[in-house]
Amino acid sequence: MNLLIIAISAALVNNVVLSQFLGLCPFLGVSKKINTAAGMGGAVIGVITISSAICSLIYDFILTPLDLTYLNTIVFILVIATLVQFVEMLLKKTSPALYEALGVYLPLITTNCAVLGIALTNVQNGYNFITSVVSGVGTAIGFAIAIIIMAGIRERIEYNDVPESFKGMPIVLLTAGLMSIAFFGFSGIL
| Residue 83: CA count within 13 A, CB half-sphere | 25
Residue 6 lies inside a defined structural domain of this protein: no
Residue 68 CB contacts under 8 Å (≥ 6 apart), including other chains: 62
Number of independent structural domains in the chain = 1
- H runs (alpha helix) in the chain: 2-8, 24-29, 34-58, 72-94, 96-102, 113-124, 129-157, 169-184
pLDDT tens per residue, the chain (190 residues)?
A: 799 999 999 999 999 999 988 888 888 888 889 998 998 898 889 889 999 999 999 999 999 999 999 999 999 999 998 888 888 888 889 988 888 877 777 777 776 788 999 999 999 999 999 999 999 999 999 999 999 999 999 999 988 888 989 988 999 999 999 999 999 988 877 6
Taken as a whole, the chain contains a residue count of 190
Domain interval for residue 48: 14-185
Residue 1 lies inside a defined structural domain of this protein: no
Q: Which of 184, 183, 154, 141 is nearest to 28 (CA)?
A: 154
Residue 115 lies inside a defined structural domain of this protein: yes
Residue 9 lies inside a defined structural domain of this protein: no
pTM of the complete model: 0.89
Residue 4 lies inside a defined structural domain of this protein: no
Residue 7 lies inside a defined structural domain of this protein: no
Residue 102 lies inside a defined structural domain of this protein: yes
